[in-house]
Structure 1
Amino acid sequence: MTAATPAPPVADVVIAGAGPAGRALARACAALDLRVLLVDPRPHRPWTHTYGAWAHELPDDLPADVAAARGRGVAIGERTHELDDTYVVLDTAALQVHLTDPTVAVRRGRVVAAVPAAPGRNPAVMLDDGTSPSGRVVVDATGARQALAHRGAARGLEGVRPRAEQTAFGVVVPREVAARVSGDRLLFMDWRADHGHEGWPTFLYAVPLDTERVLLEETSLARRPGLPMPELRARLRARLLAAGLTEAEIPDDPADVEKVRFPVDSPRHRSPAGVVAVGAADPLVHPASGFSLATSLRMAPRLATVLADALRGGADPAAAAKAARRVVRSPAAATVHALRRRGLETLLAMPPADVPAFFDRFFALPDVHRRAYLDARDDVTASLAAMTSLFGGLTPRLRLHLIRGTLLGARSVRTEQ
């Protein structure tokens, strides 16, 4: 009896997830004439999150209209730091249009698992309707859900303790109203506890969305588990009232409110054969800052080129995905990420009262070191130099906390709010 010939793949690359990371890679692959299928439960839903990045992190080919506003950032701990770098706030709708390629095939569906590649079989994505579209390579861009990872990916402490999360609650107000809070400055971080609440520290993030509107957001950089929205909302409201705003000037309409919650310590993606993860699914999220967008945008063309070369060179799905994974997570990038994860544990282990002083030292670092820690994802030497410089400038008390956090991690911190 002759074995049935497997059905041909529906695309060269099947991408699960139509967020920025998935769209960016789909667009880059299509530009190289690869057949792409993008799968998402709501592929055409408008993006609503506010995205920002330092200008030097963004790709050179980003259209000018995608930058909604820009300015020199200000950080405030126990003192004020005028940062040399330009911070760019993106026009989310324009970014979505830019990354949407009309030649990319789109299918509505929720991905529930991956079908691994095997001899004579291409990898596929299993949808909740029971169908399984296949590709020569499959990409997981489903974010922290990691829908295509092997189940049981979270092991050890990550499997039993709460995730470390970045959470934020923000409101959008007219620029002249925001100026009474921010001094008409782009506040990257303002750690002053003007909200009057005790406990884990949060900071004000105040950035222009355009020439007329400003986002004022109370942000918890990382906490395990993340600070709840009601607490962040209460802190922001208290902060704004203390700055002189009236109740009527603080929006509560959902259209003018932004809520943010995402993990910053997701486990490494355990990818089945023929599958590669990108964006927050990998995860590419910076454990300390929560940034991932600029990295995903810059990486997409390079990753697409590697996939195209591998597939046109006759590589089987497992080999093509493996080549792509070396781009996403090289040994150097894995080492830097591990160092940053220790930095996250240090932050989580730090007594709340010491956090503003710690960031004072961070923002006092030379530009080369500050940029390396935030952006040099695969430069081990630069990352170590930045951490060494930071350590050298800390007070003895903060050095002790850093050492304890590195050795003991967040286990030395109570997780109660």
Structure 2
Amino acid sequence: MAPFSPASSDVLVIGGGPSGTALSAELAARGLDVQQLAPHPPRPFPATYGAWLGDLPAWARGCAEQVWTDVRAYTGPQPTSLGQPYALLDNAALLRTLRGRADWTWVEGAALHAERRGAGWIVYGVGGEHWQTRLVVDASGHGALVSPVRFPGGAALQTAYGLVARFRRPPVTPGSMVWMDYRTPAPELKRGEATFLYAMHLGGDRYFVEETSLIARPAPTRAELRRRLLARLSAQGTPPHATESEEWVAFPMNAQAPAPGGVLAYGAAAGRVHPVSGFQVAGALSDAPGVAAAIADALCHGGDAAAAGWAALWSPERRAAREVHLLGVGALLGLERAELPHFFGTFFGLPREQWARFLHPDTDAGTLARTMLRVFAQTGGRVRLPLARAALAQPAASGRALAAAAGLKI
């Protein structure tokens, strides 16, 4: 057997994205010896990360590359002003800020599997490496090495194809951010899965435009979404002039709250993707201090660090909220494509504080359930029937949601 790596650690964090980096920073800031394992050196995160400005922790708001106050949704011909600022994160600034919060060791490599060894763990790398640690944290995303996450009925995905490009004519109103545009200017957009445009004006003639399928099973492919985006832009007379970069994302939205295990998962690997918006990064940045504090306390006092981390990440209140969220996912999956704009028209027609709380990463089950009941009461019959079917398909969960809405303990 090859020798162990001579450098053992208190915590080995697998994954080089914002979730793993945020948790590594908080763990190291508490005096723990942390190794972060990723297949590449520290580098700005490649994906485009947007978030409601108010959902970000205060320190992370300084990492915003751009903030829009003109944020709108189109669920019909006229825009709905969403009335709260939206931020595009500067990934280089975010990495730089996180790396500046504490010192820890970044290790280049890829994990193959983890094995319990006495009171700690051995993580084996694809190149024959060994890393010895007291606690393994898997923050490698939805393709996690050790994934405790389950998806009722199979994974339902959000998929999106986007590009940063220059335009001779603006594809959206200059100075605006379009959170959701369900209008269908091209014949191709009236067929197949309902998709929407998500767009940001980056300044001058530069825009980020993305065709998105919110949640579907099966989900549209990259090629299909690319065709739909280009058809949309062509039909409205705003084809891209010069493309700078492309982006493709695909991740599951309908994770159940996972059962704790000996390896602690974090971020998307722990099912913390918001089941309705698909957002995850703001929640991971906000969760990191509490999870790190629980881990540090357990390691200091000889407790079960994985169990402490799981309890901090998935409290009973969060588990109850996820059950309510999954009722909403079932409703969305049951809607006909033509009804999705009507559903979101009702949703964004609620008072802003109500729909904003529903999209917040840490809202309680009662608040979520009351918002869902308001949407049900105010939407039309063609939308209401699939919502009722989704609730009846999960009678026990629906009963607990109703109890939460009434303020009863569930």
TM-score, normalization: structure 2? Answer: 0.87
Tell me the distance in 2 between the aligned counterparts of 1:222 and 1:155. 13
1:296 aligned residue? 284
SS of 2:327's equivalent in the other structure is: helix
Residue among 227, 230, 235 paired with 1:234 = 227
SS of 2:170's equivalent in the other structure is: helix
Tell me the distance in 1 between the aligned counterparts of 2:152 and 2:55. 34
Tell me the distance in 2 between the aligned counterparts of 1:311 and 1:384. 37
- 8 Å contact from structure 2 (residues 339, 382) kept in 1: no
Task: Verify: 1:62 aligned to 2:60, yes or no.
Answer: yes
Q: How does 1:173-192 map to 2 (within 5 A)?
A: 173-174=165-166, 177=168, 179-182=170-173, 184-192=175-183
Amino acid at match of 2:91: T
CA displacement at 1:50 relative to structure 2: 0.7
Amino acid at match of 1:113: H
Amino acid at match of 1:225: P
**Pair 156,184 (structure 1): closer, same or farther in 2 beyond 3 Å:** closer
1:244 aligned residue? 237
Q: How does 1:254-403 map to 2 (within 5 A)?
A: 255-266=244-255, 268-269=257-258, 271-273=260-262, 275-315=263-303, 319-375=304-360, 377-403=362-388
2:210 aligned residue? 217
2:153 aligned residue? 157
SS of 1:397's equivalent in the other structure is: helix
1:414 aligned residue? none
**Pair 326,388 (structure 1): closer, same or farther in 2 beyond 3 Å:** same
**Pair 66,97 (structure 1): closer, same or farther in 2 beyond 3 Å:** farther
Tell me the distance in 2 between the aligned counterparts of 1:407 and 1:132. 50
Greater Cα shift, 278-287 or 400-409: 400-409
Tell me the distance in 1 between the aligned counterparts of 2:40 and 2:382. 50
Tell me the distance in 1 between the aligned counterparts of 2:392 and 2:250. 27
SS of 2:70's equivalent in the other structure is: strand
Q: How does 1:51-90 map to 2 (within 5 A)?
A: 51-62=49-60, 64-78=62-76, 79-90=78-89
**Pair 266,104 (structure 1): closer, same or farther in 2 beyond 3 Å:** same
**Pair 154,374 (structure 1): closer, same or farther in 2 beyond 3 Å:** closer
CA displacement at 1:379 relative to structure 2: 1.2
- 8 Å contact from structure 2 (residues 178, 199) kept in 1: yes
Q: Percent identity?
A: 34
Structure 2 gaps of 5+ residues are: 395-410
SS of 1:285's equivalent in the other structure is: coil
- 8 Å contact from structure 1 (residues 143, 280) kept in 2: yes
2:127 aligned residue? 129
**Pair 65,373 (structure 1): closer, same or farther in 2 beyond 3 Å:** closer
TM-score, normalization: structure 1? Answer: 0.86
Amino acid at match of 1:185: S
Tell me the distance in 2 between the aligned counterparts of 1:360 and 1:11. 51
Deviations 1:102-161 (A, max 9, x none): 7211111211222236xx4212322223333122221110110121236xx658733xxx
- 8 Å contact from structure 1 (residues 369, 385) kept in 2: no
**Pair 211,95 (structure 1): closer, same or farther in 2 beyond 3 Å:** farther
- 8 Å contact from structure 2 (residues 53, 85) kept in 1: yes
**Pair 116,210 (structure 1): closer, same or farther in 2 beyond 3 Å:** farther
CA displacement at 1:192 relative to structure 2: 0.2
1:412 aligned residue? none
SS of 1:214's equivalent in the other structure is: strand
- 8 Å contact from structure 2 (residues 5, 130) kept in 1: no
Residue among 181, 186, 192 paired with 1:195 = 186
Q: How many residue pairs end up in the alignment? A: 387
SS of 1:145's equivalent in the other structure is: coil
Structure 1 gaps of 5+ residues are: 1-5, 410-417
Tell me the distance in 2 between the aligned counterparts of 1:147 and 1:267. 18
- 8 Å contact from structure 1 (residues 269, 281) kept in 2: no
Tell me the distance in 2 between the aligned counterparts of 1:364 and 1:182. 21
**Pair 228,347 (structure 1): closer, same or farther in 2 beyond 3 Å:** same
- 8 Å contact from structure 2 (residues 68, 175) kept in 1: no
Tell me the distance in 1 between the aligned counterparts of 2:353 and 2:214. 23
Amino acid at match of 1:44: P
CA displacement at 1:45 relative to structure 2: 4.3
Q: How does 1:23-42 map to 2 (within 5 A)?
A: 23-42=21-40
Deviations 1:372-399 (A, max 9, x none): 2111525122111211221111112211
Greater Cα shift, 264-273 or 76-85: 264-273
1:171 aligned residue? 163
- 8 Å contact from structure 2 (residues 73, 81) kept in 1: yes
**Pair 370,63 (structure 1): closer, same or farther in 2 beyond 3 Å:** closer
- 8 Å contact from structure 2 (residues 261, 307) kept in 1: no
Tell me the distance in 2 between the aligned counterparts of 1:155 and 1:52. 25
Amino acid at match of 1:188: W
Amino acid at match of 2:217: R
Tell me the distance in 1 between the aligned counterparts of 2:278 and 2:85. 18
SS of 1:387's equivalent in the other structure is: helix
Tell me the distance in 1 between the aligned counterparts of 2:115 and 2:216. 35
- 8 Å contact from structure 1 (residues 171, 250) kept in 2: no
2:397 aligned residue? none
Tell me the distance in 2 between the aligned counterparts of 1:180 and 1:40. 37
Greater Cα shift, 263-272 or 231-240: 263-272
Tell me the distance in 2 between the aligned counterparts of 1:209 and 1:271. 42
Tell me the distance in 1 between the aligned counterparts of 2:56 and 2:152. 35
**Pair 329,355 (structure 1): closer, same or farther in 2 beyond 3 Å:** same
- 8 Å contact from structure 2 (residues 57, 285) kept in 1: yes
SS of 2:328's equivalent in the other structure is: helix
**Pair 113,378 (structure 1): closer, same or farther in 2 beyond 3 Å:** farther
CA displacement at 1:408 relative to structure 2: 4.2
- 8 Å contact from structure 1 (residues 71, 88) kept in 2: no
